[in-house]
Structure 1
Amino acid sequence: MSSSTSTSSVRLGDLLHPILAGLISVIVNYGGTFILVFQAARVAGLSPELTASWVWSVSIGVGVTGLFLSWVSREPIITAWSTPAAAFLVIALASAPYAEAVGAYMISAAAFVLLGLSGYFEKVIRLIPSGVAAGLLAGILLQFGIGAFGGISLDPMLVGLLITVYILLKRFTARYAVVGILVVGVVALLLQGRLDMSGLTLQLAAPVFTRPEFSLNALFSIALPLFLITLTGQYMPGMLVLRNDGFSTSANPIVTLTGLGSLLMAPFGSHAFNIAAITAAICTGKEAHEEPSKRWIAGIAAGFFYILVGIFGVTLAAVFMAFPPAFITALAGLALLGTIGGSLANAMADAKTREASLITFLASAANITLFGIGGAFWGLLIGLMAYALINGRLLRGKPVVNVAAESVSGKEAAS
């Protein structure tokens, strides 16, 4: 009797943490960046129906692809919409007819399908030295860690409470630290009356088909930048997040499937979805579960929550966006502290690549933006140049692997 109870409680615990990690990643995504989609829709002059269709298509697409990839691979494959692409569209849609923009979405998505089928992207990912990859990830996530504490200036009571609770839980029950700050934060906001849900009503979203149009102008002004921005700003760091936490799923099916999903959903408004980077780190590290083999559940949970939001259109997206910005930044930053620390440790572990890894970290943290391409690409490029010059060779370092995975395979070989 007691043995049965113990087993069921262990199973419940195994489910709780990755499910909440998936939920937190979804909250951070909608609460932190989804406003860009609404801004781009406003710039394009889209009707409420077309805007709701955009929310439906990108949410359903992200949810289905992430859930399917996580289930098949048994790894936490977190998908998301392209945030840098949404920021780009805030400007681009001001001067392009919406039907031509949809056509450009489809061209960009088709290019990703071809890239995935070619297999070249996976080959490039596997050539990147592990220290450089870890430095890139730490640099990308650094701003979120800083933002967690910088929020004290904006909302000292709320953010101070979250930080205090996080530290105390780390001291007494580290496993429940991230879960604890989510619960405490929501309760605090409700007690302060800062979450007003009275005007919200659940409404089913209705997808609206837009007949795509194709033009050279949209090809060069939207499709090509959209492809490059999503490739360098999402797929590259997203795959390195997976590699950094020891997951070895090939990039090829991920790029192919998300590209195909984007192609199918584009006529309903979806601009692009892909493997996630920042929010993926919430689900791929130890905070999701101590055992890497259990973290794929976070991918299933995130996919389910995305589909749920998609079904109800802008309603649930508005719920997540109702959280104060300081709460979102603090939640994201504190949830990513473990990943930031682990990435920095991996980046500095090898004395031979330490300098190049440090340069990658600082260049990525600087968030350089040139020619419309974001900081992840430039940080990686600068880091690889430093690695080549310091070591006298290019891309011959140790591939991105997980130390724990190496030790496990070593034990298996010995046995």
Structure 2
Amino acid sequence: MLRDLSWATFSAGTLAAFVGFASSFAIVVQGLYGAGANAAEAASGLMALAVSMGLCAIFLAIKTRMPISVAWSTPGAAFLATSAPIEGGFSVAVGAFVITAVLIILAGLWKPFGRLVSAIPTPLASAMLAGVLLPLCLKPFEAVAQFPWLGLPIILTWAVVSRINRLFAVPAAVLVAAVLISATFDMSAIQVTSLWSKPVLVTPDFTLASVIGITLPLFIITMAGQNITGIAVLNNFGYRPDAGAMFSWTGLFSLISTPFGGHAVNLAAITTAICAGDEAHKDPAKRYWSAIIAGITYILFGLSAGAAIAFISISPPVLIAAVAGLALFGALSGSLLSAMSSEADREAALVTFLVTASGVSFLGIGGVFWGLLAGGVLYFRNHR
């Protein structure tokens, strides 16, 4: 096995982990705060997710000998970041995370349940995801209005680097944001003891409102927006993993992370493309090492998650949200394109998108559920 390791697989795995972490950790932190976590719980959740997805990637790569990259649920975190405050606090959110993980496991083990998830109309699922992402994607422009001397350089960096290599656009924006924040705000507030992550155990509470308002949207977003896409990327590179088993394993590792504040881990798309591409190794049978290296690197990043939280704590929230929003531009454009591609379903998709993006909350249940419900009524009316 060690003979399959090469400099190419090592480089690809390290790059995949760097891109995966640097381009989306701000979204995850925003999501954990949105779910009611305090700074210590957010650091614990970020660490738990990074370690869980690292261990999952290592396990799946060794088990299947395929370059299966694993990531946290970025759109799921965006959903948490833009949802209305959760009644009952972070413990209720963690209870919803636990049930989400169990549903992901069931989706892999029980085929009818998995098919039911796949049966959600693509225009509605895409419109729902677009509605979730829109509020965060507006944050870069809000940052420019509030802190023009900080927001503009970040956006310009993203725009310039994306013309050269889109893969590094968001990490470059993160780097510029870090430099600007360091030069503008008081770094002495950061304590050295807070730089290393410590696990914080959160006792879950379970409520019906959280199951409807958090579990169901998070489950659908993670499965439709991440897991199914991850399988498609692997298939595109010639790998044929057992999709059901992959879903169940990611669900199990999600479950392991939940007591410490993790919301969900899933199969990755962009980082899988890095690990499975020709640059990882000329021999497809040896590219699995890139996923192993990525997993190890994620674990190392996770252990230092406290540093990310400490740095974010001294930054204006809108500035961190702006960086998170830049990372979601591609996902938003792709979701809108998919949602509106069918003329017959455009009205239902538009209603789903608008209701979800509105953030309306009724009976303690957020806009994602009502968006899917409203769009679903129109969709099935048109397809009777």
TM-score between both structures, scaled by the size of structure 2: 0.70
Deviation (angstroms), 1:368: 3.0
Contact in 1 for aligned 2:29/2:46 (Cα 8 Å): no
User: Which residue is 1:23 aligned to?
Assistant: 21
User: Which residue is 1:401 aligned to?
Assistant: none
Percentage of matched positions with identical amino acids:
25
Contact in 2 for aligned 1:201/1:315 (Cα 8 Å): no
Alignment partner for residue 270 of structure 1, among 248, 260, 269? 260
Tell me how many residue pairs correspond in the alignment: 357
Alpha-carbon distance in 1 for matches of 2:25, 2:311:
9
User: Which residue is 1:182 aligned to?
Assistant: 174
Give unmatched runs, 5+ long, in structure 1.
1-7, 43-47, 213-217, 393-415
User: Which residue is 1:145 aligned to?
Assistant: 137
- Secondary structure of 2:264's partner? strand
Deviation (angstroms), 1:374: 2.8
Alpha-carbon distance in 1 for matches of 2:34, 2:195:
22
User: Which residue is 2:221 aligned to?
Assistant: 237
User: Which residue is 1:169 aligned to?
Assistant: 161
Contact in 2 for aligned 1:368/1:375 (Cα 8 Å): yes
1:172-321 to structure 2, matched below 5 A, reads: 174=166, 176-193=168-185, 195-196=187-188, 199-201=191-193, 222=206, 224-242=208-226, 243=228, 246-247=232-233, 252-253=244-245, 256-261=248-253, 264=256, 269-271=259-261, 273-275=263-265, 284=269, 293-294=276-277, 304=296, 307-308=299-300, 310-311=302-303, 314-321=306-313
User: Which residue is 1:409 aligned to?
Assistant: none
Tell whether 2:86 aligns with 1:79. no
Give unmatched runs, 5+ long, in structure 2.
1-6, 236-240, 281-287
Alpha-carbon distance in 1 for matches of 2:261, 2:135:
26
User: Which residue is 2:359 aligned to?
Assistant: 367
- Secondary structure of 2:193's partner? coil
Residue identity opposite 1:23 in structure 2: F
Tell whether 2:382 aligns with 1:390. yes
Tell whether 2:117 aligns with 1:117. no
User: Which residue is 2:285 aligned to?
Assistant: none
Alignment partner for residue 88 of structure 2, among 78, 81, 92? 92
Deviation (angstroms), 1:385: 1.8
Alpha-carbon distance in 2 for matches of 1:112, 1:76:
17
User: Which residue is 2:31 aligned to?
Assistant: 33
Deviation (angstroms), 1:164: 2.1
Alpha-carbon distance in 2 for matches of 1:347, 1:307:
36
Alpha-carbon distance in 2 for matches of 1:180, 1:61:
26
Deviation (angstroms), 1:184: 2.3
Alpha-carbon distance in 2 for matches of 1:380, 1:208:
34
Identify if the C-alpha distance between structure 1 residues 109 and 319 changes in structure 2 by more than 3 Å, giving closer, same or farther.
Answer: same
Alpha-carbon distance in 1 for matches of 2:44, 2:160:
43
Residue deviations 1:253-312, cap 9 Å, x none? 46533553455566xx43553246xxx9xx635xx6987944999987885565335535
Contact in 2 for aligned 1:66/1:303 (Cα 8 Å): yes
- Secondary structure of 1:372's partner? coil
User: Which residue is 1:346 aligned to?
Assistant: 338
Identify if the C-alpha distance between structure 1 residues 121 and 226 changes in structure 2 by more than 3 Å, giving closer, same or farther.
Answer: farther
Contact in 2 for aligned 1:137/1:240 (Cα 8 Å): no
User: Which residue is 1:3 aligned to?
Assistant: none
Structure with max Cα Rg: 1
Identify if the C-alpha distance between structure 1 residues 389 and 181 changes in structure 2 by more than 3 Å, giving closer, same or farther.
Answer: same
- Secondary structure of 1:349's partner? coil
- Secondary structure of 2:363's partner? coil
Deviation (angstroms), 1:153: 2.2
Pairwise CA RMSD: 4.7
